[in-house]
Amino acid sequence: MASMKVLEDVGIIIRMKAALQLLADTGASVDLETGIARIPTSLIEEGIKKAPQEITLYSRDHRHDADLMGGKTYLHPTGGTIYVIDSGTGESRQATIADLEEMARVVDVLENIHLCAMITFPNDIPPEVRDIYAAEIMLRFSSKHLLAPPYNSRNLNYIIKLATTIVGDIRKLKKEPLISIVVSPDSPLQYSEEVVAMVIESAKIGIPISILPTPLAGGTSPVTLAGTLVQLNAEILAGNLLAQLTNPGTPVTYSPRPTPMDMSVGTPSYGAIEYGMMSAASVQLARHYGLPSDVGGFGTNSKMMDEQAAFEKALSGLLPALAGTSLLDGAGLLEADMASSLEQLVIDDEVSGMISRAVSGMDVGEETLALDVIRRVGPRGHFLKEEHTRRYLRREHFIPVLFDRNARQSWQKRGGKSVSVLAKERVTELLRRHEPAPLDKEIVTEFQLILANAMKELVH
């Protein structure tokens, strides 16, 4: 109820007069001069009721469709970094189109990364259209569902055109959405005109919307974890209401990224334990409203693939996964969401597999209790040759591809390689052997026309 009181008493700024009028017409108290809308609890609750509880995010070939309320946690990459960690030098540098293409191909083949995102924005493209080019690359080189954060409503229309070109028409895109649109209110308690426009445009079509506030605890939200949750919850519920008033039944994902602020240096602490705690709590809020959740999970402030990155990602990923989140963000992320890494993608794929195994729990039944097998083997026997072992080994045990479990002598004979070296080798192998399913030539040609038109219209 605390979030409802915020929306009723404090209100939220909506920087679009048409949206303010829509709220006023349905019972909100609106000040057109300041842009503040004070929204009654009854109206927020009506918006929650209209949001669908069952959402499926579709992939191009349907092999990677994601049922968000089916009890499984799906991992996706981080979105929108500006740097990459160069595979050759290990140094951070600005991202290029070639980097993004390689990342799309690697994401496409990794088993435990289930959706794709616009991982990094290429700096060799004019800034006005980097989001459109990033979306085109991801749609062309990965068949998985795309989470797309457009810069503005004009660019949103180009991204929708790209997705529509693949599926055939806008009605098919609504029925089987190949993309979700990611929008971020400005914390504290403000929706810019462009963000409102993107919510409304996406809702009109019925494309899923991820509402992703990014409050910084102690900076743009209260320093207390509970206070930050109150604020972000109000921001998401207000955005959901705008979507449902525009088009009842619009799919909305509860997608906050609350981050503690390190007061000693003034930066967001993506690797802090509180990051995982607030993500887990956000999952519980989403479940309370019957909404699917997408929260930060593989965050780290580390600048490289080291021990800090390993334990920060594992802890911040496991907590919300155990809480039951629908989606987890952050695969490939380094440097507090400033940089992406191909090698980190494959490491996070492995960690995701382990987390998924933990979330699935233990199967306890007559077969898995294995009393008959224990009787048959008896004292001082072994179970290696048992058919029961062969049948259940891969069901019961996560088998790593990357992480080494050999004895030291065997590990040394294999080269004594670190995880980061093995990750680099695996990236090379994946890029060598995997070619994503190609789009039809007609679709690729249409993509080129869409990009050319975007460049002509938007770049000045």
Those residues of the chain that have pLDDT short of 50 are none
pLDDT at 447: 98
pLDDT at 79: 87
CA gap 291, 244 in Å, rounded: 13
pLDDT at 69: 87
pLDDT at 64: 95
pLDDT at 192: 98
Partners of residue 147 on adjacent β-strands: 117, 180
Each residue of 401-424: pLDDT tens digit? 999 999 999 999 999 999 999 999
Partners of residue 180 on adjacent β-strands: 147
Going by C-alpha positions, the residue among 89, 141, 116 that lies closest to residue 424 is 89
pLDDT at 14: 98
CA gap 443, 164 in Å, rounded: 10
Each residue of 203-236: pLDDT tens digit? 999 999 999 999 999 999 999 999 999 999 999 9
**Domains defined for the chain, CATH in brackets:** 2-50 (no CATH), 56-183+257-360 (3.20.20.480), 366-396 (no CATH)
Residue 341, φ and ψ in degrees, nearest 5: -145, 130
CB-CB contact of 206 with 251 (8 Å): yes
pLDDT at 1: 81
CA gap 348, 304 in Å, rounded: 13
The secondary structure of residue 349, as a DSSP letter, is H
**How do the residues of the chain divide into helix, strand and coil, expressed in percent and rounded to 5?**
50, 15, 35
